Amino acid sequence: MRLLVLDTETTGLNAKGGDRIIEIGCVEIVNRQLTGNNLHFYVNPERDSNPGALAVHGLTTEFLSDKPKFADISSVLTDFVKNASIVIHNAPFDISFLDAEFAMLALPPFRNYCSDVIDTLIQAKAMFPGKRNSLDALCERFNISNAHRTQHGALLDAELLAAIYLAMTRGQENLVIDMLPDTPDTRSVARDHVPLAQFSLPVISASDDELSAHAGILDELIKTYKKPCVW
């Protein structure tokens, strides 16, 4: 499965009010592995950034003045996202800006080019109700270093979000075997396994500290979800 983690930087917060995209970053994930086949553009918005936005991203009008306009990179972007699942944190914000840019070029909305959109903010709120779920908060929660993030940047934030998404969804791939149809091919997976009896396998028991740490994690899960653990 091909995923693209996408982020944008903009001149302000209001796409309908004339704010524009100034940076786009896409990070590719295939089979839960970062491929390095990323897409990154700075974009000339043909207007100044609002002071508040400029303080966040630091991309000045002078720096952006010689960068391509959105019309110049639109076809590259649509080709890159074609049929991929797009992962965005607070998707309505970024998509509203992408749709506004496409509308100015008389092109269809962004969702017409990709397979679907996954909003990690919605996922995070479901996993951690009542807690802060900003990018920085999730980095802290999943022990992902963001010390180099002194200002927002589309590619940098997409890279951080890719790490967060993989951490949030870790373990889901183990459920795939349970969802496979009962066919000769899938039955052969179980039938043709390697017999473990031929090996002398060591048994490593958890230490007291590890058992205590595990119990602490279970207690935290019970407190968070207010349901008993099933393991």
- The identity of residue 78, as a single letter, is T
Is residue 22 within a helix (H) or strand (E), and if so which, with residue range? strand 21-30
Q: Give me the helices (H) in 18-173, please.
A: 51-57, 61-64, 70-81, 91-104, 120-127, 135-141, 154-168
Spatial CA neighbour of 48 closest among 96, 10, 97: 10
User: What is the residue type of 166?
Assistant: L
Rama region for 73: left / alpha / beta (φ>0; ψ in -120 to 50; rest): alpha
Q: For this structure, is 40 an active site residue?
A: no
With beta carbons less than 8 A apart as the criterion, state whether 139 and 160 touch.
yes
- 40-79 burial by CB neighbour count: b if 16+ within 10 A, else e? ebbbbbeeebbeebbeebebeeeebeebeebeebbeebbe
- Which of these is catalytic: 57, 89, 148, 152? 152
Catalytic amino acids?
A: 152
